Amino acid sequence: MLNRWSDSDARACTDPLSERAYTSRLLGVDPELVMHGGGNTSVKLVGDDIFGRSVDLLYVKGSGSDLATMSAEDFVPVRLDHLTALAELETLSDTEMAEQLRIGTVRAGAPAPSVEAILHACLPFRFVDHTHADAVLTITNTPGGRKRIEELYGSSVVIVDYVMPGFDLARRCAEEFPAQRTDDTVGMVLMNHGIFSFGDTARESYDRMIELVAMAQEYLEGHDAWELPTRPMPMPPPSSQRVEIAQLRAAISSAAGVPMVVESTRTPRVGAFLGRPDFADLATRGPMTPDHVIRTKHLPLVGRDVGAYVGAYEEFFRRNEPRTAETLTMLDPAPRIVLDPDLGLLTIGRTAKDAAVARDIAVHTIDAIERSAALDDWQALPEGDLFDVEYWSLEQAKLQKQGAPLPLAGDVALVTGAASGIGRATADALLGAGAAVVGLDIDPGIGDTLTHPGFLGIRCDVTDDGAIDAALEAGALRFGGLDVLVLNAGVFPASQPINELTSQEWRRVMAVNLDANLSLLRSAGELLALTPRYGRGVVNASQNVHAPGPGAAAYSASKAALTQLARVAALEWAPQGVRVNMVHPNAVFDTGIWDDATIASRASSYDLSPEAYKTNNLLGVEITSKDVARLIVALCSPAFMKTTGAQIPIDGGTDRTI
């Protein structure tokens, strides 16, 4: 365990609440302690109400906040006397608890307090930290877990057997903590759930958390259960697995009822785990902590039989539905984690970010499973306890607060020429609409073009068939397949009359503007046919197709041929449900193919100034890359799901084409 406390950083804290936020961030950035919104922290302070009266308050993490990014404003002030009084009730439903937590909150507009606010209030310490430390859970998730925790910590921690989070857990801790507490007590272990630490200062509570977790790590090391094996998974050759992954993604998306992103992980740690003869048995015993089921489901799929997994999940729901008096609606039965010896670890989410969250949880769980197995054996909670959390109304409320999905959520797009101009604007717009995007460009900086969890930039010369093949494979491994293909990359040579146009220049333009797109269509067609929703191709052609200009023979001919190619693709792919449409922009001057000299040359051929040339259309408007990108994204949206073979100008209107 790394203690991340910094005296210089701490000096920037101006009060106990800012110190509370600082140490919360120290916990949140360590994935060995918490991941993706897990854990919570609190501090008890005295404040004044509007009448100047002193009020004891618990500042607790707001529901849905992330410890890694906590600020003072993310803590919710709740009346301490209200919370401690609630802990004395015999029963309190989830609905009543949520209502009472809101009633006790003293800041209008604050997020809902953590569901463990009552528990934090009952602990007689000013600062309280709670994490889901991997090392502690590794020990608790063994058949002899409680005895091992007792052996490890002695009287320094209170131990509470697993109870459903919320009021029941708070009530249990309020009863057991005073009975078990000694003068040595600095923490509390909740079996199969996590660990608490306490202190009079933010630093003391934080230091104790680090010390307690370090002790668990050292315990595992002392029992030969810390070092983990590795076995590199052989990387498949290009084109060998993308179709298999796309087929699996289609089946998973069908089970989910919506398109899903599927991310592949093939690390040496994954290889070692999947190489165990008992990996399927271990992996299907349950998660590291029930908090994870919201992101991962209660079990992974081993192998590729999605239908069998769906049937087993439906039976899981039927078995456990009677555990609650509420009327429940079954969640989608699609897996969120797949373990396959050939494909590796596959994680699934509605977005690339969701799939990445599931990946992080899965790789930490694999480590915990192997360490538990080395220590004793892996033993997760019974499925009923996992069901209770997955269908817990308060957890479902968190998901509902995320709002409706974006229109292209779950879709995977590939955009060529994505480092600048129309390509970059299109990639950005697709990301904004919810899609994951693979951006190809010959520019070495393509990987850093857009900072977004759903963007994968790959340096690729689209005139190289091998590079295209490798890029499609990499995109499928990262996101699971392909739904949208945007053919945008192109070159626009300097103006030349036909009698000066060399064969070399002609072939260069054709290679990029036409031949490369044939290769992309040929290689991507099978993936587009496997999309969960419907495949879409959008070709960025040109107004020159219908209204060529002097000096642009190679460009105009290449774009006209590309348009014909796209029209044939629309004819051939329609039976597979794949739509192919074309856009014809004109005079988009904020792209890499234009410079001042080229603009001046083109303008002079029309007897116009450069400024007049830029708005030389019926509407008198300038067309930008973002304008074209918006049209391309619209063609990818459900509004155009019944349109194929269309050619749409975006040029401000010209009498030559109208």
The residues carrying an active-site annotation are: 555
Instruction: Report CA-CA distances (Å) from 488 to 222, 234, 420, 534.
Output: 58, 34, 11, 20
d(CA 251, CA 260): 10
Per-residue 3-state assignment (H helix, E strand, C coil) for 160-171: ECCCCCCHHHHH
d(CA 320, CA 385): 9
The answer to whether residues 408 and 615 touch, using CB atoms and an 8 Å cutoff, is no
Q: Which residue from 279, 296, 207, 245 is spatially nearest to 26, judged by alpha carbons?
A: 207
Q: Which residue from 74, 101, 102 is spatially nearest to 18, judged by alpha carbons?
A: 74
Q: Write the single-letter amino acid at 393.
A: S
Q: What token pair was written down for 282?
A: 């271990």
Which DSSP category does 620 fall into?
A: -
Q: What is the CA radius of gyration of the chain?
A: 29
d(CA 175, CA 195): 17
The answer to whether residues 411 and 434 touch, using CB atoms and an 8 Å cutoff, is yes
Instruction: Report CA-CA distances (Å) from 184 to 121, 130, 131, 207, 424.
Output: 20, 18, 20, 15, 60
Q: Write phi, then psi, for 514 (nearest 5 degrees).
A: -125, -60
Decide: helix, strand or coil at residue 611: helix
- For 321, counting Cβ atoms within 10 Å of its Cβ (0-12 exposed, 13-18 middle, 19+ buried), the class is middle
Q: Which residue from 478, 505, 476, 489 is spatially nearest to 443, judged by alpha carbons?
A: 489
Q: Write the single-letter amino acid at 644.
A: T
